[in-house]
Chains A and B, each alone.
Chain A
C-alpha cells in the first residue's frame, strides 16, 4: 500500500489556467505538508496542516491555496498559473507537528511534475 500518494504524477497546462493536485496519506498522520522543488532542485516548504488547521504558510503567492477536507487529504489548488510555477510538488505527512522527534519523521509522496506552457 502506498503511504503518501499524489495525483496526477504529471500535469501539463497553459498559463492562466487553474489546476489542482491531490494528496492522500493512509498512515493515520495528523500533519501534512506541501513542498516545491524548482528547476535548480531547491526543495522548499510551502504549507503545513495539522488536523485540518493551517500551521505553516511560507510567503507563498495567494494564487496557491491548500485545502484539507480531512486529516488524510491535503490538496493544492493553483489559480492563474504562471511559467514560474513549473516545478515538482511534493506532499508529505508526519505523525505530529513538531513536538517530539520520534513523531516528526516526514514521509514524502512521489511528486507531481507541473509544467506550465
Chain B
C-alpha cells in the first residue's frame, strides 16, 4: 500500500471549513484513499473514501486531484467536536486478500472557539 504524508497539526476556527491535505504520490491505480479520525480516547471512526472522483457524505467531502497524487478532506463547518487526529490511508480496493489499514501519524486538527 502506498505511503501518505500529512501535516502534523492544523488549526481551524469553529464554523469555518477545515481543509486537511494528504500527499500520496506513489498511489497505484487500484488503490483507494480512506479517511478515518480518532477523537481523544475513542476508537477510530470512518469518514469517507474515494478512488478518483470527488466524494461527499454527511460528514465530509473528499477532493482527489486528477493525477491522484494528493487529496483534501473538507469538513464544511467545523465544530469543537471535530477536534481529532485525522488519518489519510491508501490501500488496495478491489480484490485485496486482506483489509489491513496502515495508520500513519495523522493530522491533529484543533478547532478553536
Interface of A toward B, CB cutoff 8 Å: 4, 31, 33, 41-45, 48, 55-56, 58, 90, 92, 94, 96-101, 104-111
B-chain residues with CB within 8 Å of residue A58 when the two chains form the complex: 100
A-B contact pairs, 18 of them (CB 8 A): A4-B43, A42-B105, A43-B103, A45-B102, A48-B98, A48-B99, A55-B98, A90-B43, A94-B99, A97-B98, A98-B99, A98-B100, A101-B32, A101-B51, A106-B101, A108-B43, A108-B45, A111-B42
Taken residue by residue from 46 to 80, chain B's Cβ proximity to chain A (1 for < 8 Å, 0 otherwise) reads as 10010100000000000000000000000000000
Tell me the complex Cα distance, A107–B51, Å.
20
Tell me the complex Cα distance, A40–B45, Å.
19
CB interface residues, B 81-113, toward A, < 8 Å: 85, 87, 92-103, 105
Q: Is B43 a contact of A109 with CB atoms below 8 Å?
A: yes
Determine the interface band of chain B, counting residues with CB < 8 A from chain A.
20 to 34
Q: How far is the CB of A110 from chain B (nearest CB, A)?
A: 6
Q: Is A100 a contact of B93 with CB atoms below 8 Å?
A: yes
Q: For chain B, what secondary structure do more than half of its interface residues adopt (helix, strand, loop), or is it mixed?
A: loop
B-chain residues with CB within 8 Å of residue A110 when the two chains form the complex: 42-43
Tell me the complex Cα distance, A107–B99, Å.
12
Tell me the complex Cα distance, A113–B79, Å.
28
Q: How far is the CB of A50 from chain B (nearest CB, A)?
A: 9
